[in-house]
Structure 1
Amino acid sequence: MNHIESSLASSPRITPAPVVCPVHPRWRLVLSLFKLRIGMLIMFTALAGAAVVPHESVTPWRTLVLGLSVLLASASAGAFNQYVEADSDRLMARTRGRAFASGALRRDPRWLVLMLGMLVGAVAAAGLVANWTAALFVLLGALTYALVYTMGLKRRTPWNIVIGGAAGSFAVLAGAAAVSPQMGPLAWLLALALLLWTPPHFWSLAIANHDQYAAAGVPMLPVVVGPGRAASIVHWNTVALVAISLVPLGFGAGWAYGLGAALGGAFFLRKTFALAREPVRARAMAAFFASMMQLSALILGVWLDAALR
């Protein structure tokens, strides 16, 4: 018996082979730099901009290149934001795990060369395949986020995101201009809706994380005026957003768009009203996610209208 026990004790243990992730961790780090989820959302708004302009000669190739150009330009601006904000990102629990902030990737100037190359490629592709008006809007969207918001306004004013939100509006205009440089009122109204959508979207997130923004020294609206007043501003901003989002119905938008604008707007308003009455983290995050639902409903309505046209 002792012999058997000693044999078992001395025999090597079989260790299960480690599970290897199909994507190398370093590549996942690199991809995380580019804020691709935000980039995809901005690309979808550009495709919505293209869909609101009726034109029979638009090819799928042009639409694809325009969408990828907006995605590439957005990725470039998102990576630049992380490069510049690495020091302050370390002060916030929400962002300290980012690649540059955590030190997982070194802030080498060669990253800036890559970001510039991505932006130049995106603008060139939009200009050569679509037109240079669309390319200009692609450029303005990226520069608004990278320079105007990240380097200019973010640490100087609580209204930073109001102007920085124009990045999404430029994506809509890029999509519309790719179809026709004349665009039309529906494109401008959708761009205005995006401009009004951005502040309540980000301010809701900022209310949920206002202690972290305060610790990092970022003067987001809830830090400056307090979560209660900021929540009230979020609600009334959403009222203006929903009102503007319904205006396209008077300029030829179809029933599908109207349904998306009404249902998505009502849901967002319900959540921001609850936030204004009780400005706590749970309500703020509910309003944040409701903003995503509202924008998704708006975009789906635009696409369905275009499909039924």
Structure 2
Amino acid sequence: MTGGARVEDYLALLKPRVMSLVVFTALVGMLVAPAAINPIIGFIAIACIAIGAGASGSLNMWYDADIDAVMSRTINRPIPAGRMVKEDALIFGLVLAVFSVTLLGLATNWVAGGFLAFTIFFYAVVYTIWLKRSTPQNIVIGGAAGAFPPMVGWAAVTGTLSWESFALFLIIFLWTPPHFWALALYKQGDYGAAGVPMMPNVVGEKSTRKQIFVYSLALALSSLLPIWLGFSSWIYGAVALATGLGFVWLSVRLLRAPEGVEMRRTARSLFTYSLSYLFLLFLALLIDNFALRLGVI
């Protein structure tokens, strides 16, 4: 394997697509928190969370270089493509992790800094190194790492955690299994070749589709928690209800789809929908919160 990595290769290590969702959910957690934050400090906090997410991505690609080399959707990543040596990704990830945690702690508070450190550790060590290759529950447990950012954003403003921030965590936590299992249903060959025990490869398609349906129901119900906890109103509630029903409907279609091409097509539809679902839900919460603060509703 050769070195000579370009700037764009280092950017690829950050997993910018994943980072964008992390940054957005963290920003929502920060903006709906019941306190104000200096805009400059807020910008620094979001930058730190983004850098921390990038650190997690870099450490993930360092450790998973071997399986990335046999999966069609990851084979062109910098390390398996031969544009970067593994050690560079490891050093890059560790430097970003230390920098982001330290700066967030100094700029805001050490509850947020410590929680960001825990998030990076959870994704890089608990999920990537331990769970991903050892259990079909890898996404269920490891998904917590992707659900922490709104709590980190909340903590950056308030210096504490709360039931409200936990509700945001729970929504993303319950969204993660059906999102990734839908992907795994039409990418079984990749995961099988890489030896990653994703749910469809271990328990089969039928059981996976049933579990997707159960998680979709739990997700739709959990999305109503902001209303129950009193930090959203009917604007968010209407969006949460409509998008939640859409998620459940697609999971029912997947449950009933005949095996083969139709099942894979429906799984892909659910995966695509799940990408926009989380964005729409958190955007609705943000708009709703602004409307409440301005006294519009």
Q: Could you tell me the TM-score, scaled by structure 2's length?
A: 0.91
Q: Deviations over 1:31-75 (max 9, x none)?
A: 1121011011011111121123221x3121222112111110111
Work out which of the residue numbers 116, 121, 124 in structure 2 matches 1:146: 124
1:263-302 pair list within 5 angstroms: 263-278=242-257, 280-302=263-285
- The separation in 2 between residues aligned to 1:141 and 1:259, in whole angstroms, is 31
| Counterpart residue number, 1:50 | 30
Which moved further from structure 2: 90-99 or 147-156?
A: 90-99
Give how far 1:169 is off.
2.3
CA contact (8 A) 2:70 2:193 kept: yes
Q: Which amino acid aligns with 2:281?
A: L
**RMSD, aligned CA:** 1.5
Q: Deviations over 1:128-180 (max 9, x none)?
A: 11111011111111111111111000010000011111112221110111111
| Counterpart residue number, 1:212 | 190
Give how far 1:256 is off.
2.5
| Counterpart residue number, 2:82 | 103
Change (3 A) 1:43 1:93: same
- The separation in 2 between residues aligned to 1:281 and 1:29, in whole angstroms, is 32
CA contact (8 A) 1:86 1:101 kept: yes
Give how far 1:288 is off.
0.8
1:11-90 pair list within 5 angstroms: 26-55=6-35, 57-90=36-69
Give ranges in structure 2 of 5+ residues lacking alignment.
none
Larger Rg: 1
Change (3 A) 1:242 1:167: same
Q: Deviations over 1:170-220 (max 9, x none)?
A: 211101111112343221111111111111111111111012111111100
Which moved further from structure 2: 205-214 or 275-284?
A: 275-284
- The separation in 2 between residues aligned to 1:207 and 1:136, in whole angstroms, is 36
Give how far 1:104 is off.
2.1
- The separation in 2 between residues aligned to 1:68 and 1:163, in whole angstroms, is 26
Q: Which amino acid aligns with 2:51?
A: L
- The separation in 2 between residues aligned to 1:293 and 1:239, in whole angstroms, is 17
Q: Which amino acid aligns with 1:101?
A: P
CA contact (8 A) 1:126 1:134 kept: yes
CA contact (8 A) 1:46 1:171 kept: yes
CA contact (8 A) 2:212 2:251 kept: yes
Work out which of the residue numbers 147, 152, 156 in structure 2 matches 1:169: 147
CA contact (8 A) 1:39 1:74 kept: yes
Q: Which amino acid aligns with 1:242?
A: A
Give how far 1:29 is off.
2.5
Quick check: 1:248 aligned with 2:226? yes
Q: Could you tell me the TM-score, scaled by structure 1's length?
A: 0.87
SS in 2 for 1:215: helix
SS in 2 for 1:128: helix
| Counterpart residue number, 1:15 | none
- The separation in 1 between residues aligned to 2:117 and 2:238, in whole angstroms, is 33
- The separation in 1 between residues aligned to 2:79 and 2:254, in whole angstroms, is 33
Identical columns (%): 37
CA contact (8 A) 1:260 1:300 kept: no
Change (3 A) 1:58 1:197: same
Q: Which amino acid aligns with 1:65?
A: I
SS in 2 for 1:266: helix
How many matched pairs?
283
Q: Which amino acid aligns with 1:85?
A: D
- The separation in 2 between residues aligned to 1:82 and 1:284, in whole angstroms, is 26
Q: Which amino acid aligns with 2:58?
A: A
Work out which of the residue numbers 90, 111, 116 in structure 1 matches 2:94: 116
Q: Which amino acid aligns with 1:204?
A: A
